[in-house]
Chains A and B, each alone.
Chain A
């Protein structure tokens, strides 16, 4: 029942032989010329079209003008699925674009899909399956399909049917095959162009918005394009970078500072070797600006002839990472120093006690020194663990509703038992809203601030604690409100707590670093500072963990105010916090109330 085209061709040539040769040649020539023109017109029409539906519609018109089949239909696979779906059809009555519910009513037979080749059958049901009566369609007697294939990819099928029983004419089949090729090619082009447009749009957006510096460099190592981050890194507007040699605007040196000649630089190597080059280098922005440690990644982009026509370079600024790294090293170094001091005393006096005969009085004296030092060591280790735990976020907050009024009362009562305790003056409104926070951690914050005040408060002075409703500014924006006495409430709502002492105050030099771990200001020069130097760092970390902010302001000679504000509901951690990790370091921001 499957009659292939070759059989048909044989019957055609048998007919041809019976006609007079000259007439046949002329007729044939004329017809072929007309068909070629029609095909060319059809090709032009579809090849210039980018809209898929319009393209199919033009294809159907061309098929109609060439063959006038009783039914012509395009079945296409979607861009991401393989199942063929009816996309457009034409009968003698005209074109029809099936709706979503109509499309499944006509489908291709499994054989037509599976064979995917030119197929001619006696019974059209072997090609087309028509369900229900959604369409008024001619009763087909003959049908065949032509695959739509271009550049090795199959897009779908062109299906043709007719009502009379005779076989399709050989030249009609041939023309529809040519048309199908052109439609397939046009579809492929349209899809590629659309994708390329989309990609270049994405690409451009990506290029513009990526945080890292990105630049495109041509085969002569001249800058073709820079994104804003790259322009900022070079310190020149993009217009003054385009066309310049890359080495001029983005001079590189090795990590140790030795200049990196252009020939061995990542841009030349990526071009020459045609592979991605990634290196850690120093970027020299020139004009007296400091070198920036970066990771540079240069990827070759293939040109039409498959050789790298240009390269795309990406600079990832490592200054921040380096700073964090340095801060961590410094933190470890200082922490080990702090631990060594009590350890020295413990080890030293132990050795002396074991190796010498000393009087009971001396012995007692040494033992009490050792006792003090071991207490100090234990406290130091505990606080170090506390700080790293809070800063790394490994410990979950035990959040509950907390009344700041009660909490301040409890901590002050505890601190009043301190031998050196000054007078406390507490001002917390009864109706201060409750907050969601970890009461244990907040007690620690307040206790640390109060012991700090006690350490520096002169005898007989007064330490004032005030809590107020406050407005919280988003991180990064200068802290608003929360000055003692500031009554303003705005969103997002929070509360502020301030501890003011009448101590010696802190000079700006110290103030800048006051929240750094182990940073201590001596009450008197020459006198060893008390405490571990971690109290304020821990307080700041805890407050930030709650989504709040810590600040300090001081007037040398008059006193200092340490304060913090917390959101009513436990807020998100600040994004910057993670990078600061175990050292609040130089980047620790000292927020001052405006």
Chain B
């Protein structure tokens, strides 16, 4: 079973992601801030990280950069943001994110993105 780390400071969003992934199919880890997220990536070595950008502590960009450069360049990281600006999209590419999804998102599209990323199939960011 694949492990997915969901990082968002909004519990409702974490619950929505969990509900979208239909329980049982994945092992889910949750973090509410950047430091906790890094700690979990190190300790639990998840198969994928779904990372909100506006989180307390270190922001999503910085967490992504550290995961890619300091922990494991191969762990896919998908960035999640409520700021749908072009600069955020560019910034997420710069820090090495594998995908970018803007809020509000469709649960089905999120699941597709996660499945494709885990399978190594390239997919257009939702």
Which residues of A are interface residues toward B (Cβ below 8 A)? 333, 336-338, 340-349, 351-352, 355-356, 362, 366, 369, 372-373, 522, 525-528
Q: Does B36 contact A (CB under 8 A)?
A: yes
- Residues in A neighbouring B56, C-beta threshold 8 A: 522, 525-526
Query: Would you call B16 and A344 a contact (CB within 8 A)?
Result: yes
Query: Would you call B33 and A343 a contact (CB within 8 A)?
Result: no
Query: Would you call A348 and B16 a contact (CB within 8 A)?
Result: yes
For the complex of A and B, 9 pairs with smallest distance between CB atoms: A526-B32, A340-B82, A337-B82, A344-B104, A344-B103, A348-B16, A340-B103, A347-B104, A345-B12
- Residues in B neighbouring A336, C-beta threshold 8 A: 82-84
Query: Would you call A528 and B16 a contact (CB within 8 A)?
Result: no
Binds A, one of B40-48, B91-99, B105-113, B114-122: B105-113
CB distance from A203 to the nearest CB of B (A): 48
- Interface size bucket, B side? 20 to 34
Query: Would you call A348 and B104 a contact (CB within 8 A)?
Result: yes
A214–B31 alpha-carbon span in the complex (Å):
57
- Residues in A neighbouring B32, C-beta threshold 8 A: 526-528
Query: Would you call B19 and A349 a contact (CB within 8 A)?
Result: yes
> Please, what's the 1-or-0 string for B1-38, where 1 marks a CB less than 8 Å from any CB in chain A?
00000000111110110011010000000011100100
Query: Would you call B107 and A352 a contact (CB within 8 A)?
Result: yes
Q: How many A-B residue pairs have CB under 8 A?
A: 75
Main secondary structure of the interface of A (DSSP, over half): helix
Known: A340-B82, A525-B33. A372 touches B12 (CB 8 A): yes
Query: Would you call B107 and A337 a contact (CB within 8 A)?
Result: no
- Residues in A neighbouring B104, C-beta threshold 8 A: 340, 343-344, 346-348
Query: Would you call B33 and A526 a contact (CB within 8 A)?
Result: yes
Residue of A nearest to B32 (CB): A526
Query: Would you call B83 and A333 a contact (CB within 8 A)?
Result: yes
Query: Would you call A348 and B82 a contact (CB within 8 A)?
Result: no
A526–B14 alpha-carbon span in the complex (Å):
13
Query: Would you call A369 and B82 a contact (CB within 8 A)?
Result: no
A373–B19 alpha-carbon span in the complex (Å):
16
Which residues of B are interface residues toward A (Cβ below 8 A)? 9-13, 15-16, 19-20, 22, 31-33, 36, 54, 56-57, 81-85, 103-108
CB distance from B82 to the nearest CB of A (A): 4
Query: Would you call A343 and B108 a contact (CB within 8 A)?
Result: no
Residue of A nearest to B53 (CB): A337
Query: Would you call B82 and A344 a contact (CB within 8 A)?
Result: yes
- Residues in B neighbouring A333, C-beta threshold 8 A: 83, 85
- Residues in A neighbouring B103, C-beta threshold 8 A: 340-341, 343-344
Q: A349's contact among B16, B57, B105, by CB below 8 Å, is which? A: B16
Known: A348-B106, A369-B12. A341 touches B33 (CB 8 A): no
Q: A348's contact among B20, B33, B36, B57, by CB below 8 Å, is which? A: B20
- Residues in B neighbouring A340, C-beta threshold 8 A: 82, 84, 103-104
A355–B106 alpha-carbon span in the complex (Å):
11
A390–B105 alpha-carbon span in the complex (Å):
33
A369–B19 alpha-carbon span in the complex (Å):
12
- Residues in B neighbouring A345, C-beta threshold 8 A: 10, 12-13, 16
